[in-house]
Amino acid sequence: MPLIVLEGLDGAGKSTQIKLLTEYFNQQQKDVYFLHFPRLNSPYFGDLISTFLRGEFGDIDQVHPKLVALLYAGDRWSASSEIKSYLEKDYIVLLDRYVYSNLAYQCAKILSDDEKQQLREWILQFEFDFFKIPRPDINIFLDVPLSFVKQKLIERRQGDNRTSLKGKTDIHEKSIRFQEKVRNEYLYLCNAYDLLYVDCTLGNKILPPNNVFQKIVCILEEKLNENK
């Protein structure tokens, strides 16, 4: 069974699409296993990631991206045996973020194109070759307007009850400019790697979730049929 990853900016609607995909596969009598990364409440790596996101190690530009990448990679490594076990049991595994999120968020903190590429290659080798975590069959990026992301982040901060942040603002969510840089990194990955692009907009507005879902299903059916 396939390993499917949804990528996107904060507030892109990944959780909604995961729910719709789970219902879609369950209707086909297929078992689904879901994980969201990062797992902020998991021991060791999750605790460290939460500490970083609260800004207790410093602001975004004060912690080297490679060190941050290590934390996120470690979180995936610690979940990899669980993912492998469900794949072996013929579950469809759905992931909300995975390795490409590490590339996008960490490279967004770097100015030099050469340094970005070096970091991309290092992260991919570290996660897939050294940690040997499962490689996804399908990676999908949900692209939404930055104005929508900004509104979602405002709503999230106003009603934030994420216990791992202890009432503090996620340092990745403080700046819409940083989110724009992350989006640009995702767009680069869509052009240069196997990250599949889904436009979630109609004009300047966000598409209804079911319309986005239909786009995702079309991609899945095409890709899964290719692999048969």
Max Cα-Cα span within the chain: 48
Domain 3-226, architecture per CATH:
3-Layer(aba) Sandwich (3.40)
3-state secondary structure of 2: coil
Distance CA 159, CA 47 (A): 22
Q: Which residue has the higher pLDDT, 50 or 227?
A: 50
* 7, 98 contact by CB (below 8 A): yes
- Can you read off the two tokens belonging to residue 202? 């109609």
| Residue position matching structure tokens 């999120």 | 101
CB atoms within 10 A of CB 104: 25
Average pLDDT over residues 192-214: 93
* 126, 35 contact by CB (below 8 A): no
Which pTM value belongs to this model?
0.90
The percentage of the chain sitting over the pLDDT mark of 70, rounded to a whole number, equals 90
- Of 181, 127, 210, give the one whose Cα is nearest residue 9: 181
* 17, 107 contact by CB (below 8 A): no
127 DSSP 8-state letter: I
Predicted pLDDT at 156: 61
Q: Is the confidence at residue 110, as pLDDT, over 80?
A: yes
DSSP letter for each residue of 169-216: PPTTTS-HHHHHHHHHHHHHHHHHSSEEEEE-EETTEEPPHHHHHHHH
Mark 14-32 as b/e (b = at least 16 C-beta within 10 Å). beebbebbbebbeeeeeeb
62-77 residue pLDDT tens? 999 999 999 999 999 9
Q: Is the confidence at residue 169, as pLDDT, over 60?
A: no
Spatial neighbors of 206 by CB under 8 A, at least 6 apart, are: 13, 144, 145, 148, 200
DSSP letter for each residue of 24-44: HHHHTT--EEEEESS-TTSTT
Q: Give 151's pLDDT tier (boundaries 50, 70, 90).
A: confident
Query: Sheet of 92-96: strands edge to edge?
Result: 32-36, 92-96, 3-8, 138-143, 195-199
The stretches of 89-175 forming alpha helices (DSSP H) are 99-107, 113-124, 146-158
